[in-house]
Amino acid sequence: MPVGPRLWPLALGTLLLLLGVFSAWQTWLIANEGHAAERVQQARDEAVQVLAQVVAAQRATVQKAVSSVDPVSLQGDHAALVEALRVKLPQAQQLEIYSGSLDEVVHANFREFGYAKAAQLMAAQTADGLPPVQSVSHGLRDRRLSVTWPLGSPQQAQAWLWVELPFAPVQQAFEAVSPASGRLDLRQGDVSSDMRILSNGSASAEAEAVAKPVPGSTFSVAAGSPVAFIVLPHSWPTTLLLALAGVGGGLYLLWWRQRRRESPVVEKDIDIEEFKLSQEAARKAAPPEPLIPKLAAAATPTPEPAPKPAAVGVTVDPAIFRAYDIRGVVGKSLSADVAHLLGQSIGTLMREQALSEIVVGRDGRLSGPELAGALADGLREAGIDVIDLGAVPTPVVYFATYHYNTGCGVAVTGSHNPPDYNGFKIVIGGQTLSEGAIQDLYQRIADNALERGGNGSLRQLNVVPDYLERIVSDVQAERHLKVVVDCGNGIPGAVAPQVLAGIGCEVIPLYCEVDGTFPNHHPDPSDPHNLEDLILAVKQTGADLGVAFDGDGDRLGVVTKAGEIIYPDRLLMLFARDVLARQPGATIIYDVKCTGHLKGQILEAGGSPLMWRTGHSLIKGKMRETGAELAGEMSGHFFFKERWFGFDDGIYAGARLMEILAGDLEERSPEEIFDTLPKGVSTPELKIEMAEGEHYRFMEKFKAEANFDDATIITIDGVRADWPDGWGLVRASNTTPVLVLRFDADSTEALKRIQAAFRTRLLAVDARLKMPF
């Protein structure tokens, strides 16, 4: 924008002043840079020394216990020997004895036995001296110190002791060392390994590539020096010259201001054109209030009003109680009175399970505050204490159930449905309710079997900073990526940009203002039409890629710089490779809508593939049953158990994707990495709209009558017909009254043939159907 001639003196003086201030700041940074790096390296050395002492003390404890063992007992009953050692090591969390040859370990099922445990025991046989101490993980929150010790002669052990001790002494010693303004990373493995166990200090500090080993262990400590934004050469004459220019600029500004006072001039207003994407709707006169201040305000204690009783004679539509959540149209099948009764029903179930506290959050829909408030009143009426999280993405509600140790939570959300919808996703006792458990909630209401007269408490807490910190402290993008983030005006706009920026990405926000009317496009990344703006924004800004989230943040969509949509089943291939690199043999679950190439990719990466029914709560239930480390759905739900909690979280999945793309050793572009994933010719999810309930009746008839001759039929969820060169699927949606179809094949010809086979059989059941293909 051109500067008017009357403003040139102001611009010149301001520039000189800013140069002076900048040079002074740079001078301070230059002086401080070397000292900061030296301080964090001293902290690293201190941490190594302290940890070595802790490791030595733990080994000495084990050695003392072993030295008391009668050598004769090694020939006898090992069970008795284990019990004797337990007395000597009461702090041991696990204690086992194996033969000197370790035959039982060599032939064990490593998936059940534990890969890390087996590797440590077998490495002990060839170790020079005593085997090093390391750690093993039993889930996300349970890390232990593992010690392997020879029984009998160290040169030829008659048996091997495996003992797991509390990890707390190591963690406490590490966290007690202050890294100054930098960061310390506790790693495990080779000194050049980036397998970080703990981190202490600034997340933005740059860690050294090679860490310093901790004697007697497989641990090492890496120093992360603070990043200083230094652009000036380390030259004192240069900085001094700029500082003098700044002083001159400041004096010039004082003179110019005095002169303006003496001869005032009325300047015309200057129009400032802001950069907008060509398809972005005009902003409202009063833009939505930023959400983060609202969240902060929500943390302020408020008086606890008594829970309001539900209206007498409320009619509850059983159709809103669906397969894996509760969903209805506000003002028709869903109201505050219904939400109150639902709260009582959930509270009654919790009371039966001796559970007393629950977290409640809501998405950005306009009906959210009223429904969440009525739900909380019903819960309190049943005697349940409620933690109100305010407006947050659904994954943040799931996170809060772990963070506050409630095991119970309700997300008031309409997910990817139209603005007039809303609903409830429910977790009780650590399990997401589905099918029969959801129907049970309705039956309690219908039978009027509800707890009443309770007076549960209500408090507001802001869990978003803890959610951000948990992700940013574990996930980092090692290479700079520029990414457009499209939140479709849904609630992820309050959190997702901060997460991706926090892990090291340059974020360009698109439709991140939370607005429950969704004025720009519908927040459903599974529909390619909703990604058109994102594709254009990525091209216009030169970003590396774009990501999109649904209305409540548990789904992820991805587009490339070239405008290609990377469908979730192909993303799951990439996630599976990454997880299986650390968890070989792990089970990876995918739903019936995913590509046939996925099974082969999981097997090739060393995993165990398992196809299952569509639905976030059904997938999570199968993960608990099988111990799977990762799962995904074609709709864009991703469930990470490895390094996370196992719930569906589109925001966290986006962060893990950035970590993978930015951590590529060959520094390939995202497109080059995605090109390594096989793809055929496929369709997105296609939908045939029907009346409420009609889609279920249609599927019952279709399943009974459909015959696909030479195809393999899978009916765990709808009807999927698999041929050697492709497959087709039709199923009833459990969230909206539609039939969902998808087709995938090795060639266009095969795709057309499969679609024709389905078209014939679909129309044979109902000739009135309007085919979307």
List, for residues 460-469, the tens digit of each pLDDT value: 999 999 999 9
Interatomic CA distance for residues 745 and 726, integer angstroms: 4
Residue-wise pLDDT for 681-727, tens only, equals 998 889 999 998 899 999 999 999 888 988 999 999 999 999 999 99
Lowest mean pLDDT among 30-34, 192-196, 617-621: 30-34
Q: Tell me the average pLDDT across 287-316.
A: 50
What's the mean pLDDT when you consider all of the chain?
Answer: 84
Q: Tell me the average pLDDT across 9-18.
A: 58
Strand partners, 508: 484
Cα–Cα distance list, 93 to 65, 90, 378, 527 (Å):
15, 8, 42, 50
**DSSP codes joined into one string, 329-385:** EBTTTB-HHHHHHHHHHHHHHHHHTT--EEEEEE-S-TTHHHHHHHHHHHHHHTT-E
Strand partners, 484: 508, 546
Lowest mean pLDDT among 301-310, 454-463, 734-743: 301-310
Interatomic CA distance for residues 293 and 655, integer angstroms: 24
Torsion of CA 342, 348, 352, 353, to 10 degrees: 50
Stretch (H or E) spanning 118: helix 115-126
Triad 661, 662, 665: Cα angle to 5°: 90
Give residue 654's pLDDT band: very low, low, confident or very high (50, 70, 90).
very high
Q: Tell me the average pLDDT across 295-301.
A: 36
343 close to 382: Cβ distance less than 8 angstroms: yes
- Of 664 and 3, which is predicted with more confidence? 664
Write a three-state SS string for 580-614.
HHHCCCCEEEEECCCCCHHHHHHHHCCCEEEEECC
327 close to 735: Cβ distance less than 8 angstroms: yes
Q: Is the pTM of this model over 0.75?
A: no
Marked catalytic residue, from 59, 327, 365, 521: 327
Look at residue 432 in the predicted model and tell me its pLDDT. Answer: 93
Identify the three-state secondary structure at position 279. Answer: coil
Identify the three-state secondary structure at position 102. Answer: coil
173 close to 162: Cβ distance less than 8 angstroms: no
Residue-wise pLDDT for 543-565, tens only, equals 999 999 999 999 999 999 999 99
The angle that helices 8-67 and 78-88 make with each other, rounded to 10 degrees, is 120
Identify the three-state secondary structure at position 285. Answer: coil
Q: Tell me the average pLDDT across 292-310.
A: 46
Check residue 149 and report its DSSP letter: E
Look at residue 308 in the predicted model and tell me its pLDDT. Answer: 61
603: pLDDT strictly greater than 90: yes
Look at residue 37 in the predicted model and tell me its pLDDT. Answer: 75
Look at residue 282 in the predicted model and tell me its pLDDT. Answer: 39
249: pLDDT strictly greater than 90: no
Lowest mean pLDDT among 394-403, 407-416, 575-584, 688-697: 688-697
75: pLDDT strictly greater than 70: no
248: pLDDT strictly greater than 90: no
- Of 122 and 585, which is predicted with more confidence? 585
Give residue 39's pLDDT band: very low, low, confident or very high (50, 70, 90).
confident
Q: Tell me the average pLDDT across 35-54.
A: 87
Interatomic CA distance for residues 242 and 46, integer angstroms: 40
Cα–Cα distance list, 616 to 235, 552, 613 (Å):
59, 13, 9
Marked catalytic residue, from 220, 415, 526, 617: 415
Strand partners, 372: none
Marked catalytic residue, from 362, 637, 731, 761: 637
148: pLDDT strictly greater than 60: yes
Interatomic CA distance for residues 733 and 712, integer angstroms: 22
Q: Tell me the average pLDDT across 299-307.
A: 49
Look at residue 189 in the predicted model and tell me its pLDDT. Answer: 73
Give residue 67's pLDDT band: very low, low, confident or very high (50, 70, 90).
confident
Is residue 637 annotated as a catalytic residue, yes or no? yes
